[in-house]
Chain A
Amino acid sequence: MNILDLSATELTAKVRGGELLPTDIVSAYFKQIETLEPEIDAYLLLMKGSAFEQAKTLENKIKSKKPLGALAGVPMSIKDNICVEGSPTTCASKILSGYKATYNATVIERLTAQDAIILGKTNLDEFAMGSSTENSGIKVTKNPWDTTRVPGGSSGGSAASVAGAMALTSLGSETGGSVRQPASLCGVVGLKPTYGAVSRFGLVAFASSLDQVGPLGRDARDTALIFETIAGHDPKDSTSLPNKVESRESRVVSRTIGIPKEYFDVEGLDPEVAKAMENAIDTFKKEGFTIKEISLPHTKYALPTYYILASSEASANLARFDGMRYGSRVQGQQGQEEGELIQTYKASRTKGFGAEVQRRILIGTFALSHGYYEAYYGRAQIARSQITLDFSNAFKEVDAIISPTTPTPAFKIGEKTQDPLAMYLSDIFTIPVNLAGIPAVSIPCGFSKNNLPIGLQIMASHGQDKFLLELAQSFEKATSREFIKRPRITGGKIND
């Protein structure tokens, strides 16, 4: 039995049955991490000591016949913008170096209460701002399918850790596609839950009206297991939804899937991705679904709307990192025009934040500034409402909407770093979902000629997360799970 081949459901069953010891699981995963991490760089922090402690505690529970949690022995990685008590939380930023979280995020409390084991904290684009993990202020993570390519972002470390079997499941976070896009590029499953379905308490804020913690797993069933554990009302998060969320649009259960024409008529859509979509549509047809072309007419406004709103919220949320209230301090000097205090704020922020974070703070500050607010922030809010309305109207006719998750498979490291607009376009299909607050999942649906994974995005109406994951599992079953694969590893080297 290869422990790394077991799904979360299989693994917990074996732990319960006494066939598998939690310490053996942790040993197997750390052996894999020690083999692959030098090449992949998925982790910012390995928590080997505490992982073995958690495993031993679980073994004592088993010996004393205490009830075990739903995730008994499931080894997980956690994106390093989610607080784990006693461990550094860096957001991959120099400005947070030295900070240790003094409390657990609610999602961590819920996972550990169900006996999940945390292996470490994963790399990300600094403060979750990016689509390739190249904006990390610490290191660049590589894609386990091809180490010359990006794993996507911002949860690139999380996706790479699952793809490389360096964790069985992971937690990432989404603001504009940061779970689904890396899941697509790394050939794993990633869920962006309905906004408010999962607590944000203990997630470092980027854009609070869009941020959401989301799980990643090798398949839809494992991903659903993590989602069911972390979802639910949290009084510590003022945007947390009540436990029973009724959909605003009752699902039509007509077994109809919508194909938004605006998502398939996009410049730069890779022909191999388009072909994989055709195959996915055929699969749903064979499963008895009716396919219907739909229109989401305000899609073209999604990208600018997102970058105005997310950047505006980021400029406010990150204002606290000034070297005084939060963040590393760089002492400024008394200048001719500005005093020592302003110079200290500026020096701390300019040295502490990377270029992409500064770019977004600048855009956000501009969009909120006197004289420009109405034309930018105000107009973007209206566009957001129109985009949300597009989805509401569509879900009156269809159960789910499908599209590619990304326009292309994983791109080369360095290919887009000099052109932020080209980088932003890699999230063109994921961003509208965050603006509307609806759930969406990315699942593997094909491979390119270069053996790079291609992701299918499935979107559903508010509160339909469970239905979405059931649909994803149906797709996996209908395709005989042929796209659920791991890169082959020979002698410590990745052989694609």
Chain B
Amino acid sequence: MENTSKLFDRVAHLARLGPYEPKMGEHLGQDFARILDLFKVLEQLTANKETKPSWAAGPCNAFREDESRAFKNREAIVANFPAKESSYLKVPRVIE
């Protein structure tokens, strides 16, 4: 495993978190290392190759038909927009 501090920084970037104030970063980094230690017990797990995921009920297709439907409460949804132009949600530019 790579150095825990470097790993923490890399994971924080992947998670779109940080950068942290030094004290908070140190605190979270220490917790991160301790929690990874907790996971080491799983290395003792001797898996039976026949073990498969178990589920409460057998798998079944629960998807709805792919049909467009109008929201019944459109105004309330629009009211939650932080910024809008007429009834369109206004968002910052996301293509750099």
Contact = CB atoms under 8 A, between A and B. Distances in A.
Contact of A238 (B15, B63, B72, B91): B63
Contacts of B70: none
Contact of B57 (A103, A242, A388, A438): A242
Contact of A362 (B17, B27, B45, B63): B17
Interface residues of B, number: 49
Contact of A307 (B39, B71, B77): B39
Nearest to A345: B16
Interface residues of A, number: 71
A420 interface: yes
Which of B8, B14, B16 has the most A CB atoms < 10 Å from its CB?
Answer: B16
A361 B17 contact: yes
Interface in A118-167: none
Interface string B12-39: 1011111110001001100110111011
A420 B20 contact: no
Interface string A332-346: 000000011110111
B55 to A, nearest CB: 7
Given A99-B80, A382-B47, A304 B42 contact: yes
A389 B31 contact: no
Interface stretch (A72-80, A179-187, A363-371, A394-402): A363-371
B16 A346 contact: yes
A254 B73 CA distance: 52
Interface in A422-459: 424, 436-438
A102 B45 contact: no
Secondary structure at chain A's binding surface: helix, strand, loop or mixed?
A: helix
B29 to A, nearest CB: 9
Contacts of B57: 196, 241-242, 245, 462
Interface stretch (A10-18, A19-27, A257-265, A373-381): A373-381
Contacts of A235: 62, 64
Contact of B18 (A86, A346, A355, A359): A346
Interface in A180-214: 194-196
B14 A102 contact: no
A60 interface: no
Given A100-B79, A359-B31, A379 B62 contact: no
B23 to A, nearest CB: 12
Contacts of B42: 301, 304-305, 308, 376, 379-380, 383
A476 interface: no
A308 B48 CA distance: 20
B56 A365 contact: no
A85 interface: yes
Given A248-B56, A344-B92, A366-B36, 18 more contacts: A99-B80, A195-B56, A235-B62, A238-B62, A301-B42, A305-B42, A319-B16, A341-B93, A346-B16, A346-B19, A349-B16, A363-B32, A363-B35, A381-B53, A382-B47, A386-B45, A386-B48, A392-B54
